[in-house]
Amino acid sequence: MLVLITETPEEGSRIAGRLVAQAIKQTPALRLGLAAGNTPIGLYQNLVDLHRTTRLDFAHVRLFSLDEFIGLPSDSPNSYHRFFHQHLLDHVNFDPAHLHLLNGQAEQDIVSYCVSYERLIRNQGGIDLQILGIGQNGHLGFNEPGSSLNSRTRRSLLSASTKYNLARAFDSESVPEWAVTMGLGAIREAQTLLLLALGAHKAEIVAKALEGPLSAFIPASSIQLHPSVVLVLDRHAAGSLNNQDYYLQQSSQVMENNHWFLEPSFMQVAQTGLPAKP
């Protein structure tokens, strides 16, 4: 695992944005998995800025989503469908034919809908890069504590703590009971995972996910099984890690060699390790 620790949350969002931008430049038809939540908003803002200033091209990028609420109309201010449009899609040149957001109102039976969503991803060649956040209870997507580490895309009952955390953003609308989420096994099929966590409120769960035992009780710990993971943490979110010194050492290797953003790709580096200094 490649753990990059930044001084500020803004720098974390900037680094994560640059990593995604680099992947798009190297693979214009990148299959990119999007995540919602407060954390990646800055990342998407960075991508929008790069689109504006450097013409980062989304025309060929294939977009998928990680989860969605069940029962919210797609134009609800709280739907992830709306979230992705508001923070990214309305500001870049994506092709609607390449957009595959999970639908929380699918007419189809939910089980066959989830099977068809996974089949769609497989038929497109799988996800190259999956953006992830982490819930304060350790959820990934909406895989709540107790999710099988090999779970598949499915309907998921939201836990009380997740509903409590979401309620602040939901204003007048009540938080749905159910969501549809890619399962932990399905998420791990992505070639590279990019997990972003920012802020002191994420410190404890980040440490459990990264350094605690692999456990269905901490769904995000399942990333420990993946061969190519990059974590971008600000120093507050990294604050409870035992192995922090080593991660800081890794981070300075990466930040000092700025050229690393170009060659080889960070997705390769996540898998094969840091290149030696020139």
Q: Is 137 a catalytic residue?
A: yes
- Cα–Cα distance, 3 to 198 (Å, whole number): 13
Side chain identity at residue 103, one-letter code: N
Q: Take residue 191 and report the two structure tokens written for it.
A: 């070639």
Closest chain position to ligand GLP (CB): 133
Looking at the Cβ atoms of 111 and 169, the one nearer to ligand GLP is 169
* Residue 37 in the binding site for ligand GLP (CB under 6 A): yes
- Cα–Cα distance, 138 to 132 (Å, whole number): 12
Q: What does the buried/exposed string (b/e) look like for 38-62 if buried means 16 or more CB atoms within 10 Å of the residue's CB? A: ebbebbbbbbbebbeeeebebeebb
Question: Total residues at the site for ligand GLP (CB under 6 A)?
Answer: 13
Q: Is 67 a catalytic residue?
A: yes
Output the smallest distance, CB 104 to ligand GLP, in A. 12
Catalytic one of 51, 144, 226, 236: 144
Q: Is 259 a catalytic residue?
A: no
Output the smallest distance, CB 41 to ligand GLP, in A. 8
List the beta strands (DSSP E) in the chain.
Answer: 2-6, 31-34, 62-65, 67-69, 99-100, 129-132, 154-157, 178-181, 192-197, 229-234
Q: Is 143 helix (H, G, I), strand (E, B) or coil?
A: strand
Residues 117-136 that bind ligand GLP (CB under 6 A): 133-135
Q: Is 144 a catalytic residue?
A: yes
Contact with ligand GLP (CB under 6 A): which of 12, 17, 138, 141? 141
* Residue 12 in the binding site for ligand GLP (CB under 6 A): no
Looking at the Cβ atoms of 57 and 204, the one nearer to ligand GLP is 204
* Residue 142 in the binding site for ligand GLP (CB under 6 A): yes
* Residue 35 in the binding site for ligand GLP (CB under 6 A): yes
- Cα–Cα distance, 197 to 168 (Å, whole number): 19
Residues 152-171 that bind ligand GLP (CB under 6 A): 162
Looking at the Cβ atoms of 3 and 175, the one nearer to ligand GLP is 175
For residue 171, give Cα distances in angstroms to 10, 100, 161, 221, 244. Answer: 26, 27, 17, 31, 38
Q: Take residue 162 and report the two structure tokens written for it.
A: 């997740």
Residues 53-112 that bind ligand GLP (CB under 6 A): 66-67
- Phi-psi sector, 247: left (phi>0), alpha (psi -120 to 50), beta: alpha
Q: Which residue has the tokens 């399962």?
A: 183
Looking at the Cβ atoms of 19 and 66, the one nearer to ligand GLP is 66
Looking at the Cβ atoms of 6 and 265, the one nearer to ligand GLP is 6
Catalytic one of 139, 143, 226, 234: 139
Contact footprint for ligand GLP (CB under 6 A): 35-39, 66-67, 133-135, 141-142, 162
Indicate which residues carry an active-site annotation.
67, 137, 139, 144
